[in-house]
Every structure is written in C-alpha cells, then in structure tokens.
C-alpha cells in the first residue's frame, strides 16, 4: 500500500489519528451532557424566551450573579462576604449551586451606639421590601415576579429591634438599629 492510499484510508474515517478523533468526540459528548445537567438545575424564573428580529425564538438564561466583598472587621481581620444567586466551585457534575433568590450586596457599619446596615437592591420598589429584625440579625427579602432577594445578616452587636429606622432611595436600603446597652457585670462583694 502506497502512502497516498494509506492517507485516503485514514482520512476517510475522520481525523488523521483515530484515537484523537475519538477523544474529541468523547469530550464533546461530556460537554453536551454537562450543559444539559446545568440547564435542568436552573430555576424556571431564570429562563425566558425572546423573539429575534428574523422571527426565530431563542432561550435566554440569567442573570447569574456572583461576587464578594472584602472589608476589615473591628478586630483588624478581613471579613469576606459573598453575594449573588449562584455559588461556584461545588464538587460533582454541576459546578454551580443555583439559588431561588439573589443575595444582595451589603455592608454592616458598627458605630458607637448604633449598627447601620446598607443593602443594594437595584430594580426594587420600596413597598416590595420585607424587613425583619431580631436582637442579633436583620433579614431583608424581596419577592416579586422580576426580582427576588433574600439575605439574613448577622449583626456585630445585640440591638433593639423596635428601634429600627430605615430609608430607601435609588436602590439603596439603609437600616439603623440602636445597640442594647451592655449588661453590667456583677461585682463580687466580700462578706466580713
């Protein structure tokens, strides 16, 4: 068999090296399986159809948001907070965890007599915001057809939930809570 005949025979079956060709096909199948698995886990409120100018219909997914903020805590150590509606890096075939509601970006300011929480809620109306406070946490949630946010925020000090004052302007929510005065430690008295 001459070289030209050998080359035609090899090339007619696909790629020049059949093992590599089979490896590429295996990778394509694995990618396709992974994408189908990811698509099956996407919450329905993140999937929509849109009509293109040529009349065809396409599916869109999202928005998918992930981020983190880094600040210094009162003890000088870094505080890292994640926000968004997905969590990357999970082991297994699906590399993301999808959440039904987005965790908003927020910051907690520990002031002398108060704790101030600032939360970004773009695209939300004031009447759609639900706030609940305990002496140790603040829960912020929004559940509308277009926007879903949810976050329980741990507070750095005990607060009086009934002292909460809030304002909302240009997509930014500010909640101020008065700290509870620290309980006085008992003083031991020597009996004589």
- pLDDT tens-digit map of 80-93: 888 777 777 655 55
What residue has token string 């987005």?
A: 102
The tokens describing 93, both together, are 């075939």
With contact defined as beta carbons under 8 Å apart, do 66 and 82 qualify?
yes
| Global pTM value | 0.59
- Residue 38's alpha-carbon distances to 84, 90, 96, 159, in angstroms, are 17, 12, 8, 42
What residue has token string 């912020």?
A: 140
Structural domains of the chain in order of their starting residue, each with its CATH number: 3-58 (no CATH), 61-178 (2.60.40.790)
pLDDT digits (tens, 9 = 90+) for 16-67: 566 777 788 888 988 888 778 777 777 777 778 888 899 899 888 777 778 8
């Amino acid at each position: 068999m001459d070289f030209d005949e050998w080359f035609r025979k090899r090339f007619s079956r696909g790629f020049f090296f059949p093992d590599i060709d089979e490896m590429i096909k295996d990778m394509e199948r694995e990618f396709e399986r992974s994408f189908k698995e990811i698509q099956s886990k996407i919450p329905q409120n993140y999937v929509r159809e849109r009509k293109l100018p040529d009349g065809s219909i396409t599916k869109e997914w999202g928005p998918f948001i992930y981020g983190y903020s880094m600040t210094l805590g009162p003890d000088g150590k870094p505080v890292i907070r994640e926000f968004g509606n997905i969590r990357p890096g999970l082991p297994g075939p699906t590399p993301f965890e999808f959440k039904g509601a987005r965790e908003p970006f927020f910051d907690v300011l520990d002031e002398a007599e108060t704790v101030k929480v600032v939360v970004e809620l773009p695209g939300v109306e004031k009447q759609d915001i639900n706030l609940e406070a305990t002496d140790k946490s603040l829960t912020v949630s929004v559940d509308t057809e277009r926007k879903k946010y949810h976050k329980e925020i741990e507070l750095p000090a005990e607060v009086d939930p009934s002292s909460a004052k809030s304002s909302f302007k240009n997509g930014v929510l500010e909640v101020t809570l008065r700290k509870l005065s620290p309980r006085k430690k008992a003083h031991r008295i020597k009996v004589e």
